Structure 1
Amino acid sequence: MSKTRALEGAVIRTRLAPPRVGNAPVNRDKLLQRLDAHRDRKLTLILGPAGSGKTMLLAQWRKRLAEAGARVAWFNLGSDDDVTLVAAYLVESLRSADLDIRTEELVLFNRSGGKSRNSFLASLIDDLTDCDDEIYLIIDDLHHSTAFGILQLLDALLDVLPAKVHLVCGTRLRPLLNLGKLQMQDQLAELDFSDLRFDLDETQTFVRTQGLPDLTPDHIRRLHEMSEGWAAGLQLLLFSLRKEGQVERFFERHESKPALSQEAALASYLDSNVADSLDAEALDFLCSISVCRRFNAELCEVLTGNPSAHEILRKIEGEQLFLLPIDTPDVDTWYRFHRLFETFLHSRLQRRGEDAIRTLRRSAARWFAGQRLIVEALRYAGEAGDEELMVELIDRSARRMSAAGQFRQLIRWCAQLPAALYRERLNIRLNLAWAQISCGHFDDFRENIEGILVLPEHETPLVEFEIQLLRAYGCASLDDSAGIVGIVEPMLQAALPADPFLLSQISSLALTGYTFSGRFALGREAIRIFHKHLPQEQPQHRNYVADAMIGSSYLAEGRIRDALAHLIPFKDNIVLRGKVGPDVLGNLIGSLCEALYQFNLLDEATELSETYGEMVDAAELPGGILTGYRIRARLESVAGRVQSAFQTLQRLEEIGLQRRLDRLIAWSLYDQFGLALRTHHLTSRDEIYHRLVQLAEKYADFSHCAIAEIPMLCALATAEKLLYEKASPRDCLERIDIAENHCRNLGRGAMQIQLGYMRCIVLLNDGKQAQSLNAASDLLCRAEEMGALRVLADLGEIAHPLAVLLGSRERSDAARAVLDVVPVDGPHGASAPSKLGGAQEPLETLTDRERDVLEQLGKGYSAKSIGRVLDISPTTVKWHLKNAYAKLGANFREEALSKARHHRIIS
C-alpha cells in the first residue's frame, strides 16, 4: 500500500501547519531560552487560556528547533477527533517533517478501531529510531483530547519514546496524562499563564508594531495594566484604539472598566467594542466565513458572493484582527480565526437564523466536495442537514474506503443518515455490508443483506457473486462451515470474476469450509486455483497470504513442518514488514504462533504473540479469535503464568458467549480443563468438565463441520480425565478409541498422535512396558516427521514416566527432538511454574548492560529496537541476552523475563 493511500481522505492538511511566524509581532526570547534549556525532556507543556500566546510561542520554537537541525512535526488536535484520526495526524505530521514513517500499522490501527495500539507504537518507534536527528512532535489544542482512548495512546507513546524524541503540547487545561511519573523522572517541562503573560518590554514591542506612533510610555504602561499581559486583551485594546483615533478619549473611556485578563471580559469587550468598530459589510463578511474552520479567498467568495474576498482578507489580516494565516505551501493562502474571535463571530451569526446558516454550510459543503475534500464536505453537509448531498458523497467514497479498510468511518457516516435515504444505493449497501461484517455488526449485516436482495440490480452476475460471498462470509462469522460450503461450492463451478478482492475472498472461504469438513486437500487446491486466476500484476504479498492460508490448513491437519514451510515466508515478507491488513493478520497470526509453538520455537512464538496478538481482538472470524487466544494461553502456561493462562481462556469463553459461538466456548472449556488437570485445580476441574459435557450433548449428531469439534473435545477431555484419575485400563482405552474416531473423521493428525501417547501411557500403567514403548517409539518418529514436537510435553506430568523410559533407550535424532522438549523435573510438566519461576537465586549477578537489555526486552522491543534505544548493535544485544539467559538459567525469552521479574531484576 502506498504511503499516501493509507491516509487518503482522512487528513486535513492545513491542520499539519502552524501559523506563519512572520506574523508574530513579539519574539519571546526569554521563553524560548527557557524552552531550549529543557529541550531534552520527554514532554513539554505550554498551558494557558485562549489568547495567551501559546500557539505563536510554539510556532516560534518550532522554527528555532528546525533551524538548529531538529525534525519538527506539528498538528492541531480537533474537538471531534477520535483515537484513529489522532493516530493518522500523528503519522502524517511526522512524515511532513521528512521522516520515513510507514503507514501499514496505521491502517491496522484504523481498521481495528484503535485496538492494535502496541503494534502501531512499536512500528512508529522503530521508524523514529532510524533517524539520527532530534525529533519534536508538537500538538496544539491538546485540551480537545477528552476521549480516554486518545489519552491512553499519548500515555503509551510517552512510555516508549526514545531519548531523542520529544512531545510538546499547547493546551488550555492540564491534560489527564501520567504527569506524576514524568515529574519523578525529571522528564516534564512546563510553562503556564504566569509565564506567558507579556512583561512591560514585550507589551511595548507589541504596541510599536501596530502603527500607533502617538502613544507615550505612560500610555503603553496603562495598556499593559489594562490587559495584564494577556496578548489577546492587548490586541483587542489596540484594535479599538486604532478605530477610535482619539488616544486620550480612549483611555478616559476605559478608566473604570475591568482589566481584560479574563476570558469573559474579553468576550464582553469583543461584543461591545470590536463589533462597533467594524463596518457592517466587514462584520457580515467575517460572520459568513466563520461557518468554516478553515477558509481561503475562493471559498470566502463562494460563501459571501463578494468578488473582492481576497482584498478583504488581506485588509483584515493587516489589522491584526485574530485572523491567522496557516503556513502551507498552497498557492491560495488558507486562514483560520483565533478561537476567541471565532466564538464571537458564531454568536453574531446566530442572529441571522438557522435557515441562513444552513445555506452557508450547504455552500461550504458543495465547495469542499468540488475540491475532493470529502471529510470536510460531509461535515458541513451534515451541519446543513443536506442529507442528499451526504448520500452522494458517501456513495462516491464507499468503495475507496472499503479498499482502504476505513470500515468504522463508513459506518459512522451512514449512521448520521436515515437508512431510507440510501436504501436504493446498492454501492453504499454492499460496502456497508463489508464494513458491518468486518466490524462485528452482525445483526445490522443480516438486515442489510436482506434489504439488498430486494433491489433489482442485485441480479447482475457480478453483484450476485459479491452478495453470495457476503453471505458466505456471514456464515464464517457464525462458525457455520457447512453453510460456507453450501454457498461456495456451486460458485467454484461458475464463471469467475476478474476482481482480485472477490477472487481472494472466495478462495479463503472455500479453504475454511473444506478444512472443517476434513477435506484439507480440496481447500488448499481452491487457494491455488483461484490465485492462478488473479491478474499477473497483483502484488506479491497476495501470494504470501495465500501460502499462509495453505499453511493454516496444514496446521489443522497436524502437519507442522508443512505449515511452517508456508507460514514462515508470510512472517518474514508480510508480517514483519507490515504489509497486511488486520483482518488477514488477525485471522492468521494465531496459526503462525501455534505452528512455531508446536515446533518448539517458543521465543519466536512469544515475540510474535506479544507484538501482534492484539490483532486477534480486531479479528472477527471465529478461527482467528480461537487460535489467537489459545496460543496466548499456551505460552502463558509454559512460562509459568498459570493464572494469566486461565484468564486468557476465560476471556475466550466470554467472547464465545457474547458472539453465541459455542465452538469457542467448548475450546475454552477444554483448555481450561486440561490446565486444571495439569495444575491440580481439582474443584474447578470437575465443574469445567461438567459444563463441557452439557455443551457437547447439544451437538452429538454433528459431523464433518466446525461444530463437530465440540463432541470431539468432550471425548478428548473424558479420555484425559480417566487417564489422570487412573481409571481402569479398559475404560481408558475405550474412551481413547472414541476420541480417536472423532479426530480421524475431522482429520486432526496431531490429536491422533496425542491420543496414541495416551494409549501408550495406559499400557505402561497396566504393566505392558514393551508394548507401550514400541508403540511410543513409532509415535516419536511420526511426531518428528510431522513437526509436532510438543504434543508429548503438553500432556504434562502423566507423560514423564513414559518419557524417562523412552529417553533411556531412544538414540535417534528424531526421537531426541521430541523427548528433549519434555521437562521431567517439574511437578506439572510443561506448565510447571516451579521450573520457570522458582525461588532459586540467579547463578551470577547480571551486569548493568544485561539488566538494561532485559528491561527493554520486557517492553516488547526487538533486538534491533533495543540496539537503537541503547546505542549498541543488534549482535551485541543478542550477546547480552545470551549471557543473561545463562545466568538466569532460562532457555527462552518468556522464561528469562519471568525469572527477571521474580527476582526484581527488572520492573
Structure 2
Amino acid sequence: MVARERLLVQLTEARRRRCIVLQGPAGYGKTALLTAWRLDLLALGFDMAALTLEPADNERQRWLDRLLGCLSEVSPALTREAMVLADRGTDDEAVERAIIALVRGIAAHPRDVTLVLDDVHHLTARVLEPLQWLLDYAPANFHVVLASRVALPLSLGRLRDQGMLLELDQRDLRFTLAESQHFLRAQLGDISPRDARMLHELTDGWVAGLQLFAAHWKRKKANASGLTFATGFVQASVQDAGAFAEYFEREVLSRLAPDEAELLVRAAACERFTASLCEALGEQALGEGEILALLARLEQENLFITPAQGPERESWYRLHPLLRETLAQRFRSRSEAQQRAVHAAAWRWFRDHRMLEEAVRHAVLAGDADTAADLVQRYADTLIMRGEVRKALGLLRAIPAYQVQARPELRLLALRTQMFSRELDACAAAADRLEADIPPGDASLRYRLALLRFSLVLLQDDSQGALALLPQIENVPADMPALFIGSRNNLLSWLYMHLGDYERARRIQTEAAPLVIDGVPLLGTASGMLNGRCMIGFSHALEGNMIQAERVARDVLREVEQAGHGGAEPEYFAAALLGEALYEQNDLEAARRLLEDRVDVLERVSIPDSVLRVHTVLAAAHWICGHRLDAFVQLERLEDYGTQLRLDRLVAQSLANQIRLHLASGDIAAAEAALARLDAIAARHRNAPRGSLDAIHMVTERAHLLLSLAHDDMRGAEARTAALIAYCEARGWQRHVAQMHMLAAVVASRRGDAEAARTHVLEGLRRGHRLGLMRSVIDACPGALGQIVRVAADTTLDPVLAFYVERLQATVPPRAAQAGAAGGAAA
C-alpha cells in the first residue's frame, strides 16, 4: 500500500468542507485512498460512515435504508427520526422529510460526521435527487465524500463558489512517478529505475494496471525479464477498465486451477460471499476449509478480493468490481438453467442464514418467484413485529407484482403500505377487492382485513363506521398472532374513549393478556403493549386527568428503549402526551423543547389526535411567550394537516383556536371570518352520531360564546355556557367542564351576579385541582384568573384550594395574566 501523502494531506485539509468528490475510472485507487484517510479522520475526532453503492440501490427505499443503516452505526440517534419517516413512502415529499430529519439528527450530534459514498456512478436521477437534498441541507458538522467513475449530474456550483467543495479527478488520483516506484519496490522488492519509469509511463500512473503487473511479475519473474513483460503490457493496452478486464481474463483468471476459477465465477453471482456460501453454490471439489484458505490467499496476493461487511459469524469477502465484471461475463455465458441453479443454491443458503433480502433477490433471479413470495409471506409479519417495517415492505417490492396479486396475504401487506402512506381511498378500494377474493374458510385473513378496515375508519374519524365493524373484531380467532391482538386492543381503546367510555377503554388494556412473540414481550410498534399504555394515558388526557396522563407518559418514555426498532410509535405518542402535561404545568420551555423537533415525525407516524395536541400546545406556548406569528403558523399547519387528511375535527379545532387568538388581539373581523368557516364545518356534522366528531360542536359553541363576550352579549353567553357544561359533562370531558365553569363565572360576574360567579369559580377550582390543571384553568377565557383571585379574597377557602389558588397565581406574572389567558391548549 502506497501512503499517498499528497492526497491524504489534501483530504485532511478539506475535511470540514461540505463535499469532496473523487472522480476517475476504475482502478485509480479511490477506495484504497478513502480507506487510508479514514484512520486519519478518526484520529482527529471525526465520526465516519461508509457505503458502497450498487445498481440495486437505484430503488429509492433500498438506497434510503442502506444510507440510514450505515449512519446509524455512528449513533442510532442520528437516524432515529429519519428511519421512522422512511417507512411512510418513497414519493418526493416523504423522502425529503426523511432527509430533513436525518440532517437534524446529524446537526444535533456532538462531533463532525463524514459520510463516504463509493461507486456513486451506479445511481440514476431518482436517487441522485435526494442525494442533492442531503448536500443542500447538510449542517456544518456533516461532510459528504463521493467517489465515482464518471462525472456526477449533481448541482455543485454553489459549493464550488463558496469554497466548500474539493474535487480530485483522474489527473490527481493517478500515481506520480515516485509513487509508482515506491509501489513497485514494495510489491517486487527489486526493480530497476528504468523499468519502473517505463511502467509508470505506460500505465500513466494507473494504479490497477501497476497492481496487476506486480502480481503477474511475481509469477513470471523466474522466466521473463521485466522489460519483456513491459513490452507485452504495452501491447495489451491496459490503460482502461475494459482492456484491463480482457487482460485479467487472459493472463490471470485462466491460470487459476479449474476448481478455483469455477468457484469465483459462481461467487460473482453474489454481492458478497463467505467460504460456506461458496461451498453451497456447488459443483466444485473444494471443501469449506480449502475455500477459506483460497480466499485468504487471493486477498493476501492482492488479487482483487477484499474483506466485506457481513454477519460476524463468518469472514465475508467482496470481489473488486473489475474482477466481478469479468467473472459475471463468464457467468452470463452459461445456460439459463445453470445460472438459475446457482441462484437457487444461493437463496437457500441465505434463507438458512436468515438473510432475507438476499434470499428473496436470488429466488427471483433463480426464476422461482413462488419461493420468493413464500419467503416474504412467511417472514413479513415477524419483521413488522420487530419494528422492521421498512424491511418488510422492501421485501414486498422485490417480488413480481403478479405474485402479490395472486396471494391475499401479500395483498393485505400491500394494503398496509398504502395505509402507512395515507393513501386511504386507494387502500379502502383495494380492501373491497381483497375481501371478495378471500376464501370463505380463511377466518384469520378475514379478521386481519377487518382490523385494517377498522384502522382506516378511525383514521378518518368515522366512529360510526368503526361501530359497524365492531362485531367483526371483538371475537378474535384462535391462534391469532400477538401483533394483531395488540392492534385490536389499541383500536378498541381509541374507539371507546371517543365514545366517552374511558373506563372501558382502559380495561381493554389492563385486563388483556401479555403480548408475547417467541417468548419475548411485544413492547414496540403501534400494536405493542407500550402503545397500549399510551392509550391509557390518552384516555386520561381526553377525560382531563393530566396527573395520570403525565405519569403514564413518563413511564413509557423511560421504557421505550427496550422496544428496539419498534419503539418509535410509543415514543412519539408518549412525547405528545408529556408535552401536553408540561404545558398544563406551565413549563412552556420544556414543552417546546420536547415537541418542536418531533413535529415532522409525529405528523407522519402518530395518530391524528397526537398531532392535534402537539400543534395546539406549541401554538399556545408560542402565544404566551409573545411569539404571536409563530402561534398562528402552528395553527395554520394543523389546519393544513387536517385538510389534507380530510379530518374536519382537526380543522375545526384549529379554527376555534385561531378565533381565540384573533379575539385576544382585538381583531373581531378576523375572528368572525374564521367563525363563519367553523360554522360551515359544524353544519356538515350537525346530526352526526355520538363519537369523535362531538368535539366539533363543542369548539364551535365555545367560539360563539367568546364572540358573545366580545360583543357584550351576556344573555347569549349565559345560555351557551349552561348548554356547554351539560354537553361536556355528558361526554366525560372533565377538563372542559372545569374550563366552562370558569367561563360561566366570568359571564355571571359581568352580569352582576356575584354569587353565581363565586359558585362557578369554586366548582371549577375543585375540578381543576383534582385533575391537576393549571393552564387550562387560567386559559379558560380572558379574566378567568382575575375572577379566581377576587373570589379567593372574598371567600374563606379550605387550605387545599387556597394553596391551589396560590399556585395558579404564581404561574402568570400580573401584567401577563390577560395576554396569557388566550393561549388555550386544551384539545
TM-score scaled by length of structure 2: 0.80
Displacement, 1:42? 8.6
1:377 maps to 2:377: no
Quote the sequence identity (%). Answer: 24
Cα distance in 1 between the residues matched to 2:245 and 2:530 = 65
Change (3 A) 1:555 1:217: same
1:404 maps to 2:378: no
Matching residue of 2:243: 269
Cα distance in 1 between the residues matched to 2:793 and 2:564 = 47
Instruction: Identify the range of structure 1 (782-791 vs 235-244) with the bigger mean alpha-carbon deviation.
Output: 235-244
Matching residue of 1:221: 197
Cα distance in 1 between the residues matched to 2:730 and 2:156 = 55
Displacement, 1:390? 1.7
2:185 counterpart (205, 208, 220): 208
Cα distance in 2 between the residues matched to 1:251 and 1:573 = 67
Displacement, 1:375? 1.2
Which AA in structure 1 matches 2:203? Answer: S
Cα distance in 2 between the residues matched to 1:381 and 1:537 = 30
Which AA in structure 2 matches 1:234? Answer: L
1:820 counterpart (810, 814, 817): 810
1:622 maps to 2:604: no
Matching residue of 2:454: 472
More relative contact order in 1 or in 2 (CA 8 Å, sep 6+)?
Answer: 1
2:543 counterpart (540, 557, 574): 557
Cα distance in 2 between the residues matched to 1:335 and 1:774 = 80
Which AA in structure 1 matches 2:771? Answer: M
Change (3 A) 1:418 1:441: farther
Matching residue of 1:661: 647
Displacement, 1:466? 3.9
Cα distance in 1 between the residues matched to 2:157 and 2:297 = 44
Cα distance in 1 between the residues matched to 2:322 and 2:521 = 52
Cα distance in 1 between the residues matched to 2:634 and 2:581 = 19
Contact 1:743–1:749 (CA<8 Å) still a contact in 2? yes
Deviations 1:818-871 (A, max 9, x none): 3333455259712889xxxxxxxxxxxxxxxxxxxxxxxxxxxxxxxxxxxxxx
Which AA in structure 1 matches 2:681? Answer: L
Matching residue of 1:837: none
Cα distance in 1 between the residues matched to 2:516 and 2:210 = 67
Cα distance in 1 between the residues matched to 2:516 and 2:284 = 54
Change (3 A) 1:62 1:579: closer
Which AA in structure 1 matches 2:592? Answer: T
Deviations 1:779-837 (A, max 9, x none): 2343233222112433564547646645765782122223333455259712889xxxx
Cα distance in 1 between the residues matched to 2:558 and 2:263 = 59
Deviations 1:636-663 (A, max 9, x none): 3333333233233223222322222222
Matching residue of 2:702: 716
2:619 counterpart (633, 636, 653): 633
Cα distance in 2 between the residues matched to 1:490 and 1:359 = 46
1:82 maps to 2:63: yes
Cα distance in 2 between the residues matched to 1:749 and 1:202 = 79
Matching residue of 2:820: 830
Deviations 1:740-782 (A, max 9, x none): 3432332222222323222222233334445434533442343
Contact 2:543–2:735 (CA<8 Å) still a contact in 1? yes
Matching residue of 1:755: 740
Instruction: Identify the range of structure 1 (552-561 vs 323-332) with the bigger mean alpha-carbon deviation.
Output: 323-332
SS at match of 2:693: helix
1:595 maps to 2:614: no
1:141 maps to 2:126: no
Change (3 A) 1:177 1:586: farther
The 5 Å alignment of 1:67-466 reads 75-79=50-54, 80=57, 81-92=62-73, 94=74, 108=84, 111=87, 139-141=116-118, 143=120, 146-147=127-128, 149=130, 159=140, 196-211=173-188, 215-236=191-212, 245=224, 247-248=226-227, 251=230, 265-270=239-244, 273-278=247-252, 289-300=267-278, 305-308=283-286, 310=291, 320-326=302-308, 333-343=315-325, 361-383=343-365, 386-423=368-405, 425=407, 427-447=409-429, 449-450=431-432, 453-454=435-436, 459=441, 465-466=447-448
Displacement, 1:422? 4.0
Matching residue of 2:22: 47
Contact 1:784–1:818 (CA<8 Å) still a contact in 2? no
SS at match of 1:198: coil
Displacement, 1:148? 5.2
The 5 Å alignment of 1:631-710 reads 631-710=617-696
Instruction: Identify the range of structure 1 (173-182 vs 652-661) with the bigger mean alpha-carbon deviation.
Output: 173-182
1:731 maps to 2:716: yes
Cα distance in 1 between the residues matched to 2:740 and 2:501 = 21
Contact 2:106–2:139 (CA<8 Å) still a contact in 1? no
Cα distance in 2 between the residues matched to 1:449 and 1:181 = 49
1:746 maps to 2:731: yes
Contact 2:579–2:595 (CA<8 Å) still a contact in 1? yes
Deviations 1:697-746 (A, max 9, x none): 111112420122222222121111222232x2112222333433432332
Cα distance in 2 between the residues matched to 1:538 and 1:251 = 67
Where do 5+ consecutive residues of structure 1 fail to align? 1-23, 834-907
Matching residue of 2:494: 512
Cα distance in 1 between the residues matched to 2:792 and 2:157 = 57
1:59 maps to 2:35: yes
Change (3 A) 1:415 1:40: closer
RMSD: 4.7
TM-score scaled by length of structure 1: 0.73
Contact 2:106–2:141 (CA<8 Å) still a contact in 1? no
SS at match of 1:732: helix
Change (3 A) 1:522 1:195: same
SS at match of 1:479: coil
The 5 Å alignment of 1:498-577 reads 499-531=481-513, 538=521, 545-574=531-560
Cα distance in 1 between the residues matched to 2:444 and 2:760 = 55
SS at match of 1:514: helix
Instruction: Identify the range of structure 1 (38-47 vs 732-741) with the bigger mean alpha-carbon deviation.
Output: 38-47
Contact 2:550–2:577 (CA<8 Å) still a contact in 1? no
Deviations 1:190-213 (A, max 9, x none): 877665432323212322355596
Displacement, 1:59? 3.3
Displacement, 1:394? 0.7
Cα distance in 2 between the residues matched to 1:222 and 1:495 = 79
Cα distance in 1 between the residues matched to 2:730 and 2:249 = 83
Where do 5+ consecutive residues of structure 2 fail to align? 90-94
Cα distance in 2 between the residues matched to 1:516 and 1:330 = 50
Matching residue of 1:873: none
The 5 Å alignment of 1:602-621 reads 602-619=588-605, 621=607
Contact 1:240–1:274 (CA<8 Å) still a contact in 2? no
Cα distance in 1 between the residues matched to 2:319 and 2:660 = 65
Which AA in structure 1 matches 2:178? Answer: D
Displacement, 1:125? 9.2
Matching residue of 2:92: none
Deviations 1:490-526 (A, max 9, x none): 8557788685434433332222111111222222222
Contact 2:18–2:164 (CA<8 Å) still a contact in 1? yes
Displacement, 1:585? 3.4
Change (3 A) 1:772 1:563: same
Change (3 A) 1:281 1:395: farther
